[in-house]
Structure 1
Amino acid sequence: MKDHFEIVVTTLLGLEDVLEKELLDIGVRNPEILGRAVRFYGNQEYLYRCNYELRTGLRVLKPIRSFTVNSEDQLYRQIQKIDWSQYLSNSKTFAVDATTYGTLFTHSKYVALKTKDAIVDQFREKTGQRPSIDVTRPSVKINIHIAHNECTVSLDSSSTPLSKRGYKTEQTFAPLSEVLAAGMILKTNWDKNSTFYDPMCGSGTIAIEAALIATQTPAGGYRSFGFETWFDFDADLWESVKYRAESRVKRIDFRINGSDMDAEAVEIARSNARRARISRNVQFFKADFLNFDPNMHEGVIVMNPPYGERIGNNEDMISMYQAIGDQLKTLYSGCDAWILSGNIQALKLIGLKAAKRLRLNNGPIECKYHHFPLYKGTKEEKKAESKEPIE
């Protein structure tokens, strides 16, 4: 279609399939999975919807030019071939973000600086003036992606990463990304209509994201986006996208729970839930998972316990992971447990057989995300129950 253009939504490693499903759910046709991204062709409405509704997207990019580049001077010349007056004016501000892969371009900040120089010089040559740089809230954010000698120049319609929802102004040590939390939840295939529990909740990210998913609350309802300051911003279309998304929000008749042994963390989680306007649907309370009986025999448990140092050098970490396994076996039969950990050796001490072992990254930490079905009775009995004919 004439008004359709290429859109690339970036994500975290391991969440590409979840992002693809989210895009299909909002009506995108023929999405293509790339490394840490999904590409498709859509119109301005889809660009807005991706920013407002997606839970596992990081940035929504609009590529405007691709080319082969083999030197810094060639990069400068190719950037100058773009007519930047289509996207910028002297009264607007801009910023450049660059990522590079390969041995040809190894310093992303220098690539960003070279791009900035090319844009500024073009305006000076044409108008005698130049737009200013604003790295915090630019009118236009430009993304440069160089893989070996292939360069793609994009407009970043999100500007600030979508992982920064806007509700989490307080956080505990080593907080979990909202995008990672949402991806972890969606990986469980939770039915969004039954008990959900994070027993080591920290600042509450997993439980809050679960409540947003269950109520169909748009992930982007707490913030602004880069496209709102673009030349072609359509205010009426934007209001329509937000109105239709908000109209799909629903009430739920079950509680999503989060607990932590740290009272301060519980208060932070409650404050974040209030800012997310979801506190009626999620309950946070103080409890030590290793000494707490929740009377829970169905539903989904998702947790992100501490990773600690190398397992052989940390007796507390050894005993904690062993106790997690004991607690799950003893008190949570009938549930599905999912555990994310960057301590692979510690995960082996859970003492349960993992049905799935997924690879995810928590920031720079390579993690495993394991699924432990906690069967009532034996596994064979569970299989037999599932094969009983429906009358």
Structure 2
Amino acid sequence: MEGNFKMMAKTFYGFEEILAKELRNLGAMNVKAGVRGVTFEGDTGFMYKANLSLRTALKVLKQLKSFPVNDVNDLYRKIYQIDWSRHFSVDHTFAISFTGRSQGIDNTVFAAQKIKDGIVDRFRDDHGKRPSVNTREPDFHFVVHVQKGRCFVSLDSSGSSLHHRGYRTATNIAPINEVLAAGILLLSGWDGQSDFLDPMCGSGTFLVEAAMIACNIPVNINRKGFAFEKWPDFDADLYEKILDSCWKKTREFHHKIIGYDKAPSAVEKSIDNVVNANLDDYIAVRRQDFFQSEKPVDGPLHMVFNPPYGERLNIQMEKFYARLGETLKHGYPGSKVWFITSNLPAIKHVGLRPSRKIKLFNGKLESRLLHFEMYAGSKKAKKQSHGTQD
């Protein structure tokens, strides 16, 4: 059995430190956060566990080689020198993704072509035939990155992006990415220790991700499969042991997770996705216009949501965000409120001062994750009460 090896988990901008924390909590070694990625070390079983459990990872890549590279011809030579038959056979299909730039390597399409040539030429010279390229559903997906004169060759252990959790079959317009939703929840400090509300729940992504965090459910438990299951060295018994171990770490949740949406179609889709995730015991969704609502519980409430914006908003932006602020101020005392928006000018119309603003990207849209602390009573009274407690 192979010992520890280098891996990288890819993520969104702004989630690097959260992903690093997730990896450390899972037991990864030598964890180092970078830009949109975190490097770490672990064994085969840990690779299986990382794919099953990481909430903020988009991919888990197994690093095969790294070497200095001068130009595209040098890249071809060094790719050719790798014994590719150790990783896959002529009967498998493969695909190449190439990213990065370096001196002598500035055309990503040409570089990817040279890498492909190096692989198939080596197979043809060693075995008299070559494997086929399949860009849509390859058996093996190799990810090559060049940076500052160094080349990193990795094998994608995940397959399709890990945001494809497997529970979301029904979606609304522009649903929030599942990894983005999980990262926002973790940034907000959600830990399952209070009641939770998404007052504009759309297709229910925040609700499902919040329940999985609260119950410590492995996030990709409903997924159809992973790329590593196609590898010749896939250890099905080990995978089952890892899966069983992840299940044993789940926990009960003793609060409420509630979703509102004013559109009947959204409520229906949310409920479908909650049922697909087997979380209907924990989540209640109902038709409700947030602007006509009040806090649904007596105690502390954790709120996270993704209000409509941009092309999805067919009403006046200023009025919408002003009403949002008014509803929070008058109807939701004692609540921790977080929402993401890419409509940056709209933030000032909320009429509340955010205690935190975190830069994120929703797709290609630069966004802000905002935190508002809605105190029960005035903020001044809250501070005075804290000051007189000792």
TM-score, length-normalised on structure 1? 0.93
> Matches of 1:370 and 1:249 in 2, distance apart?
30
CA deviations 1:178-212 (Å, max 9, x no partner) are 10000000111123121111111111111110011
- Return the offset for 1:12: 0.5
Q: Match of 2:244, as an amino acid?
A: Y
Percentage of pairs with the same residue:
38
2:272 aligned residue: 271
Of residues 299, 302, 307, the one that matches 1:305 is 307
Structure-2 change in CA distance of 1:109 and 1:199 (3 Å): farther
Residue aligning to 1:143: 143
CA displacement at 1:149 relative to structure 2: 3.5
Name the aligned partner's letter for residue 301 of structure 2.
G
Query: CA 1:205 to 1:64, structure 2 compared with 1: closer, same or farther past 3 Å?
Result: same
Cα distance change on mapping 1:121 and 1:386 into 2, 3 Å: farther
For structure 1, which runs of at least 5 residues remain unmatched after alignment? Answer: none
By how many angstroms is 1:245 displaced? Answer: 0.5
Partner of 2:359: 359
d(CA) in 2 for partners of 1:220, 1:127: 38
How far, CA to CA, are the matches of 1:380 and 1:6 in structure 2?
A: 51
* CA pair 285-155 structure 1, distance change in 2 beyond 3 A: same
2:183 counterpart of 1:183:
yes
* Number of matched pairs: 387
1:96-245 residue pairs with structure 2 within 5 A? 96-101=96-101, 105-223=105-223, 224-245=225-246
Distance 1:350 1:103, change over 3 A: farther
Deviates more, 1:243-252 or 1:364-373: 243-252
Q: Indicate the residue corresponding to 1:249 in structure 2.
A: 250
CA contact (8 A) 2:62 2:154 kept: yes
* C-alpha distance after superposition, 1:262-311 (max 9, x if no partner): 111111111111111112211121111112224345211111112226x9
Does 1:329 pair with 2:340? Answer: no
1:100–1:107 CA contact under 8 A, matched in 2: no
Inter-partner Cα distance in structure 1 for 2:104 and 2:289: 51
The answer on whether the counterparts of 2:306 and 2:341 sit within 8 Å (CA) in structure 1 is yes
Task: Please tell me whether the aligned partners of residues 8 and 38 of structure 1 are also in contact (alpha carbons under 8 angstroms).
Answer: yes
Per mean C-alpha deviation after superposition, the further-off stretch among 113-122 and 50-59 is 113-122
Q: Which moved more, 1:239-248 or 1:112-121?
A: 112-121
- Please name the residue that 1:378 is paired with: 378
Q: Which moved more, 1:86-95 or 1:286-295?
A: 286-295
Amino acid at match of 2:151: C
**C-alpha displacement at 1:144, in angstroms?**
1.1
Once the two structures are TM-superposed, the CA of residue 92 in structure 1 deviates from its matched residue by: 1.5
How far the C-alpha of 1:315 sits from its partner, in A, is: 6.4
Compared CA separation, residues 101 and 269, structure 1 to 2 (3 A): farther
Code of the residue aligned with 1:87 in structure 2: it is: H
Q: How far has the Cα of 1:336 moved from its partner? A: 0.5
Range with bigger deviation, 358-367 or 116-125 = 116-125
RMSD: 2.1
Give, in whole Å, the separation in 2 of the partners of 1:50 and 1:24.
11
Q: CA deviation at 1:385?
A: 4.0
Are the aligned partners of 1:296 and 1:331 in contact in 2 as well (CA < 8 Å)? no
- 1:256-295 matched pairs, under 5 angstroms: 256-295=257-296
- Map of 1:4 onto structure 2: 4
Contact conserved, 1:375 with 1:382, CA < 8 A, in 2? yes
Q: Retained in 1: the 8 A contact 2:222–2:277?
A: yes
Question: What code does the residue aligned with 2:98 have?
Answer: A
Q: Secondary structure at the match of 1:31?
A: strand
| Residues 315 and 216 (structure 1), Cα distance of their counterparts in 2 relative to 1, 3 Å cut | closer
Q: Which residue number corresponds to residue 90 of structure 1?
A: 90
**Aligned-pair CA distance for 1:29:** 3.5
SS of 1:186's equivalent? helix
Question: Which SS does the other structure have where 1:382 is aligned?
Answer: helix
Alpha-carbon distance in structure 1 between the residues aligned to 2:227 and 2:189? 32
TM-score (norm 2): 0.93
